[in-house]
Amino acid sequence: MGSHPRSPSYLFFSVVALSFLSLIALLIYKVDNFASQTKTVAGHNLEPTPWHFFPPKNFTEETRQARSYKIIQCSYLTCRYAGTNNDVLALEEQQQEEQRRHFVSSQTPEKCPNFFKFIYRDLEPWAKTRISNYHITQAKQHAAFRVVIVEGRLYVDLYYACVQSRLMFTLWGLLQLLKRYPGMVPDVDMMFDCMDKPTIDRIEHGSFPVPLFRYCTTEAYFDIPFPDWSFWGWPETNIQPWDEQFKDIKEGSQAKSWAEKFPRAFWKGNPDVEAPIRQELMQCNHSRLWGAQIIRQNWEEEAKGGFEQSKLSNQCNHRFKIYAEGYAWSVSLKYILSCGSLALLISPQYEDFFTRGLIPKFNYWPVSPIGLCHSIKFAVDWGNTNPSEAEAIGKRGQELMGSLSMDRVYDYTFHLISEYSKLQDFKPVQPSSAQEVCEESLLCLAEPKQREFLKRAAAVRSSTPPCSLIKRPNSNFFDIWTEQKKKIIEHVKDMEMRNAFTSMINYYQMYKLPRPLVKEGTFLPGTYFFVVFSINIASTISSADTITCIYISVNIRLRKHIHK
């Protein structure tokens, strides 16, 4: 039989089907290509910051197509859909807002804590020049992302990835602020960095300081401290949102009375973060010699074990807890203070927004990084000799953290943004490269554990106004404040020095050596750290010959000072 020619209709449908499949393939390619260029707050298509490199994030989506769909859906469609729902409820929202404003206006807000005053100091570099668009563009080279708030909506321009979920939780905090105080947060344009160390050096940038927000600063930098991401939770380390975490830690601290707590200093953390002071701290791990228990924390192993060994609420069984900075400042400080133990702070170089409220010998004890182990031992001995005073200092540290509720964190953020916005000499607008971010889009991009933490850290509309920011203090207020704290720290050093000399004399008597020459009633300058170093050595040896060598060295040092 001869073959029959194909019918025109069959060929037509074949061509249509082939064209349709080709179009679908092209569309998939275009969507995938578009998604591969879309940056997200979860870290998609973002390189780590060049000034602080870290391993790029691995995403859990099973296929590339699934990842592309998620990026497009969460980045471009979610907030628009949420906005449509909001428009439907516009009248109800307006009525609620009017009712809230009336309620708020009828109340007298409480005063903000004293450390809120430092908002003025942080923003003082721009008090006269104000902040221009040029300031913002110049700050970009130091920033990981840009936040613009316009009419209560949040827009983000992404430049670099942030380690773990810092970016996501920082933005969540800003979204909760907008929800907590709707219609009250001013339009603002801010550059952020999400890594640890400040970068805007006061000497290098003295002629033209650029405003850059980050989680910590120092007196040598212009960087503006901002509440860190962990107040809303840190899922990678299983640390809960702040209000929950503080409550758990405080309850854990009450499991033992002060007398029942171990009479030693405790530290548990990661020393492998380019932090010399933590490496040195590891050498102080000796309960008898230094009164300290120092434990290395391995977060990878902790994660495998479900974080059972790293629960912060189980780490309040010692009378003393040590704070040692990491690569820069560390979020651990607020959890250490929350225990109610006497917090031993090893001369912090960095400060975050609330640590300006810390006062030595009032709510923490200062420890010197020079002669570190001896300084820790002195603090432990002092605290065990003066238990009532030590317990009271620890209690005041815990009370400070208790007063720093999420209400106050939002208030600080509100006042910081408000004061900053007053300095802008331009009207913020949405950058063309920025995307709108809303609660729904963040939850859409979040991994399951992140989503759980975000929801637990959700805020509600406030029924009370923000606390009342204290008026700008006198120009010399901050200098006086700093000088007073330095004097207290120097007093503690003097106490250590007296103890060091007493200890050395005891060693001399133990080995029947003559007392060293000292001016009666005085302590010679320049000898303190030398003697402390000698005692650190002497405490670990038993050789009388070695003690004699130390004795001779100390006496030579002292004689030189006496004969000057």
Question: Are 414 and 465 members of one domain?
Answer: yes
Instruction: Say if CB 292 and CB 267 are below 8 A apart.
Output: yes
Q: What is the pLDDT of residue 12?
A: 66
Q: How confident is the model over 18-59, as pLDDT tens digits? A: 666 656 655 555 555 667 689 999 999 999 988 887 887 777
Residue 351 phi, psi dihedral angles, 5° rounding: -140, 140
Q: How confident is the model over 347-380, as pLDDT tens digits? A: 999 999 999 999 999 999 999 999 999 999 999 9
Q: Looking at residues 495-509, what average pLDDT do you find?
A: 76
Q: Looking at residues 272-297, what average pLDDT do you find?
A: 94
Q: What is the pLDDT of residue 552?
A: 47
State whether residue 62 is helix, strand or coil: coil
Of the CA atoms within 13 Å of residue 325, those in its CB half-sphere come to 19
Q: Which residues make Cβ contacts (< 8 Å) with residue 174, sequence separation at least 6?
A: 147, 149, 154, 413
Q: What is the pLDDT of residue 531?
A: 54
Q: What angle do CA 479, 483, 484 make, to 5 degrees?
A: 120
Q: Last residue of a domain, which of 376, 403, 430?
A: 403
Tell me the angle at which helices 544-563 and 528-538 cross, rounded to the nearest 10 degrees: 170
Instruction: Say if CB 187 and CB 428 are below 8 A apart.
Output: yes
Quote the DSSP letter at residue 330. -
In a domain, 244, yes or no: yes
Instruction: Say if CB 543 and CB 533 are below 8 A apart.
Output: no
Q: What is the pLDDT of residue 306?
A: 80
How many other CB atoms sit within 10 Å of the CB of residue 382? 17
How many other CB atoms sit within 10 Å of the CB of residue 73? 15
Residues facing residue 225 across a β-bridge: 214
Query: Residue 146 is part of which domain span?
Result: 79-226+406-469
Question: Are 416 and 384 members of one domain?
Answer: no
Q: With 50 as the cut, is the pLDDT of residue 115 above it?
A: yes
Question: Are 392 and 410 members of one domain?
Answer: no
Rounded CA-CA distance 346/364 in Å is 10
In a domain, 429, yes or no: yes
Question: Are 261 and 391 members of one domain?
Answer: yes
In a domain, 271, yes or no: yes
Q: What angle do CA 474, 478, 481 make, to 5 degrees?
A: 115
Q: Looking at residues 186-192, what average pLDDT do you find?
A: 99
pLDDT confidence tier of residue 558, bands split at 50, 70 and 90: very low
Tell which wins on pLDDT, 487 or 36: 487
Quote the DSSP letter at residue 437. E
State whether residue 329 is helix, strand or coil: coil
pLDDT confidence tier of residue 545, bands split at 50, 70 and 90: very low
Question: Are 219 and 239 members of one domain?
Answer: no
Q: How confident is the model over 400-417, as pLDDT tens digits? A: 999 999 999 999 999 999
In a domain, 476, yes or no: no
Quote the DSSP letter at residue 6. P
- Worst-scoring range by mean pLDDT, 53-67, 202-216, 299-313? 53-67
Two structure tokens written together for 447: 């991994």
How many other CB atoms sit within 10 Å of the CB of residue 89? 10
Q: Looking at residues 462-485, what average pLDDT do you find?
A: 92
Looking only at the bridges linking them, the beta strands covering 292-296 and 262-269 are: parallel
Q: With 90 as the cut, is the pLDDT of residue 515 above it?
A: no
- Worst-scoring range by mean pLDDT, 91-95, 163-167, 490-494? 91-95
Residues facing residue 156 across a β-bridge: 147, 435
In a domain, 348, yes or no: yes
Two structure tokens written together for 415: 């006042």
Residue 120: C-alpha distances to residues 147, 350, 454, 471 (Å) = 21, 18, 31, 9
Rounded CA-CA distance 328/348 in Å is 9
Q: With 80 as the cut, is the pLDDT of residue 2 above it?
A: no
Q: Last residue of a domain, which of 346, 379, 403?
A: 403
- Worst-scoring range by mean pLDDT, 114-118, 350-354, 465-469, 505-509? 505-509
Question: Are 329 and 418 members of one domain?
Answer: no
How many other CB atoms sit within 10 Å of the CB of residue 288? 7
Q: What is the pLDDT of residue 185?
A: 98
Q: With 50 as the cut, is the pLDDT of residue 184 above it?
A: yes
Residue 39: C-alpha distances to residues 50, 256, 433 (Å) = 17, 49, 10
**Mean pLDDT for all residues in the chain:** 86
Question: Are 366 and 454 members of one domain?
Answer: no
Two structure tokens written together for 159: 């430049």
Q: Residue 122, by phi and psi: left (phi above 0), alpha (psi -120 to 50) or beta? A: alpha
Q: What is the pLDDT of residue 501?
A: 75
CATH number, domain of 398, equals 3.40.50.2000
Q: Which residues make Cβ contacts (< 8 Å) with residue 269, sequence separation at least 6?
A: 278, 295, 296, 297, 324, 326, 330, 332
Instruction: Say if CB 8 and CB 134 are below 8 A apart.
Output: no
Q: What is the pLDDT of residue 509?
A: 67
Q: What is the pLDDT of residue 523?
A: 46
Q: With 80 as the cut, is the pLDDT of residue 190 above it?
A: yes
Question: Are 429 and 370 members of one domain?
Answer: no
In a domain, 32, yes or no: no
Two structure tokens written together for 89: 């409820």
Residue with tokens 């807002």: 97
Q: With 50 as the cut, is the pLDDT of residue 396 above it?
A: yes
Tell which wins on pLDDT, 527 or 420: 420
Q: Residue 130, by phi and psi: left (phi above 0), alpha (psi -120 to 50) or beta? A: left
Q: How confident is the model over 198-255, as pLDDT tens digits? A: 999 999 999 999 999 999 999 999 999 999 999 999 999 999 999 999 999 999 999 9
Tell which wins on pLDDT, 66 or 23: 66
In a domain, 496, yes or no: yes
Instruction: Say if CB 554 and CB 508 are below 8 A apart.
Output: no
Rounded CA-CA distance 455/462 in Å is 17
Instruction: Say if CB 314 and CB 251 are below 8 A apart.
Output: no
Rounded CA-CA distance 29/32 in Å is 5
How many other CB atoms sit within 10 Å of the CB of residue 385? 9
Question: Are 256 and 389 members of one domain?
Answer: yes
Q: What is the pLDDT of residue 468?
A: 96
Q: What is the pLDDT of residue 155?
A: 98
Q: What is the pLDDT of residue 483?
A: 95
Q: What is the pLDDT of residue 310?
A: 83
Question: Are 179 and 246 members of one domain?
Answer: no
pLDDT above 90 covers a percentage of the chain that reads 65
Q: What is the pLDDT of residue 297?
A: 87
Rounded CA-CA distance 317/340 in Å is 10
Question: Are 159 and 260 members of one domain?
Answer: no
- Worst-scoring range by mean pLDDT, 384-388, 426-430, 520-524? 520-524
Q: Looking at residues 105-114, what average pLDDT do you find?
A: 83
Q: Last residue of a domain, which of 403, 419, 434?
A: 403
In a domain, 280, yes or no: yes
Q: How confident is the model over 128-147, as pLDDT tens digits? A: 999 999 999 999 999 999 99
Question: Are 327 and 246 members of one domain?
Answer: yes
Number of domains in the chain: 3
Rounded CA-CA distance 133/190 in Å is 10
